[in-house]
């Protein structure tokens, strides 16, 4: 099965997710800095989510670049990932509009943890395809960042009900782990060529 359609569809969905997030931001009624002040939670939520969507897009690109073929069994795990990413605009908006209240911050973390688990399932589905397992499995290695991120999200979800700032810091730390694209795949592909 050709992976081009899967890549194009995923890229389109991710572009729509970013578009929805930015369209959810309301323009202030005022032309001075004071008009922007009440919007800082919305802007901060958007920046964090934009970074996360960018991380997923970048790593999804590297992941699909590393495989030679896909199967029908990969389509559903890919859709599963896109489903959780498509909930980011809702979680982002709810968190920002409610000035980082505990429950919206926890729900945001829930979306992040589910997206991370969905990405892990997609990786597994791709590794199970004959011909992909050698290159991709070796490139992924122990995947410590992939295993650590859901743990950080779960801790941050619990922290949302104790101290929202610590919860947000946890989400930011997990994003910082992934800000630089996952080079394991790229390095492995360059070595094998």
Q: Which domain holds residue 76?
A: 4-192
Helix then strand then coil, % of the chain, to nearest 5: 80, 0, 20
Residue of 19 and 65 predicted with greater confidence: 19
The per-residue pLDDT for range 95-152, each reduced to its tens digit, is 999 999 999 999 999 999 999 999 999 999 998 887 766 667 777 777 888 899 999 9
Of 112, 119, 57, the closest CA to residue 90 belongs to 112
Question: What pLDDT score was predicted for residue 68?
Answer: 80
User: 181: pLDDT confidence band, cut at 50, 70 and 90?
Assistant: low
Question: What pLDDT score was predicted for residue 69?
Answer: 81
The per-residue pLDDT for range 14-44, each reduced to its tens digit, is 999 999 999 988 888 889 999 988 899 999 9
* pTM listed for this prediction: 0.90
Q: Domain count for the chain, please give it.
A: 1
User: Residue 6: enclosing H or E segment and its boundaries?
Assistant: helix 4-24
């Amino acid at each position: 099965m050709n992976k081009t359609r899967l890549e194009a569809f995923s890229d389109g969905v991710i572009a729509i997710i970013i578009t929805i997030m930015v369209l959810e931001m309301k323009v202030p009624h005022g032309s001075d800095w004071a008009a922007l002040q009440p919007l800082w939670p919305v802007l901060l939520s958007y920046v964090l989510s934009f970074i996360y969507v960018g991380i997923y897009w970048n790593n999804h690109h590297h992941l699909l670049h590393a495989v030679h073929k896909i199967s029908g069994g990969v389509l559903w795990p890919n859709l599963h990932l896109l489903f959780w990413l498509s909930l980011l605009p809702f979680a982002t908006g709810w968190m920002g509009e409610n000035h980082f209240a505990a429950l919206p911050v926890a729900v945001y973390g829930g979306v992040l943890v589910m997206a991370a688990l969905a990405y892990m399932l997609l990786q597994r589905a791709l590794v199970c395809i004959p011909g992909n397992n050698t290159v991709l499995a070796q490139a992924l290695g122990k995947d410590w960042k992939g295993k650590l991120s859901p743990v950080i999200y779960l801790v941050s979800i619990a922290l949302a009900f104790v101290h929202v700032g610590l919860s947000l810091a946890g989400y930011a730390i997990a994003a910082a782990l992934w800000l630089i694209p996952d080079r394991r795949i790229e390095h492995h592909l360059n070595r094998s060529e």
